[in-house]
Amino acid sequence: MHHTIAFYNVENLYQSRNNRNSSILKLPFQGHRTWSFSRYKNKLAKIAKVISNIGKEETQKLPTFFGLCEIENKNVIDDLLEEFPFKANYGYIHKDSLDERGIDTAFFYDKEFFTVHDSEFIRIPIFNSDGSRDFTRDITYAKGNLESNPIHFFVLHLPSQRENNINLSKRIYILHALRKKINEVFDKDEKANIVILGDFNENPVTNYLYQELWCKKTIQELKTRELYNPFEELYRNNQYSTFHEGKGMLFDQIIFSKTFYDENNSLRFNQSKIFNIPVLQNKDRGKLGTPWRTYSGSRYLGGYSDHFPVYAIIEAIQ
């Protein structure tokens, strides 16, 4: 059976101020950028519809797994799942992080196909150049069985490239710490099935992604404990998930352990894609092909997100 693994940066999915469940919020919207309940509900419906269609053409069903980033809290997650068609039977793993913007990562799974055995929220302390503590998103970890096959997931959202890329060393440090966690998994099972999905705030050809995560540029080079990033090929073919000042970038990626490329493994990689169907794209002249985002500066656009979702199809061999 084929299964979809998706990842979506949903661009500041906060509750509205007048949502009855709202607590003290860290909304970035001020003055004429007011975030209302109707805009919140509109965005929820849009995001839910997008997710429910990712990989549907290939698998004829909802995604078995998906990771999200830039979500505010559990209330937002529960509201989002209420929007799903047919009340899909999703479970999720989430915990509020210490991120300064109040946004988190979360992992979702279809209970029909996946059973969770363990989970963890990996909080990696990082610091600014002056020694002060910085706060970013936790890495969400989940371990379980997909149709009796053990599989491990890591969902991340690395620090951004703002202000002359001052967060570069922080991204490297977090990936280095993540690789230690991956090694712990491999210490217990050298044939572990591992998937890393997230917004890396770097393109897949960046050298330190190879170095810190032990990625190889070709499948043929792969050895035990090494990883492969199929989104590198998409990037080299000028396919992007987000844009900045007209420049395309593929920050959103899904990376796999060597096992998914072994012929005798019961879980196998099939294909990877960017979900950039026309309805998700900006219709403004000069911005055609870019994501239809919720806000552009101070202007409310009413779109989906400033990122396209990405996804991969894997096959579970009986």
* Angle, alpha carbons 278-279-285 (nearest 5°): 70
Report the top-level CATH class of 2-316: alpha beta
21, pLDDT greater than 80: no
3-state secondary structure string across 267-316? EEEEEEEECCCHHHECCCCCCCCCECCCEECCEECCCCCCCCCEEEEEEE
Please answer whether residues 50 and 13 qualify as being in contact, where contact means their C-beta atoms are separated by less than 8 angstroms: no
For residue 17, what pLDDT is reported? 60
Mean pLDDT of the chain: 91
**pLDDT at res. 23:** 40
C-alpha to C-alpha distances, 118 to 104, 141, 181, 195, 220, nearest whole angstrom = 19, 8, 14, 15, 32
The pLDDT value given to residue 28 = 55
List the beta strands (DSSP E) in the chain: 2-13, 65-71, 90-94, 104-110, 114-122, 126-127, 133-134, 139-146, 149-157, 194-199, 215-216, 227-228, 242-244, 247-249, 252-257, 267-274, 295-296, 299-300, 310-316
pLDDT digits 0-9 by tens, 153-192: 999 999 998 766 788 999 999 999 999 999 999 999 999 9
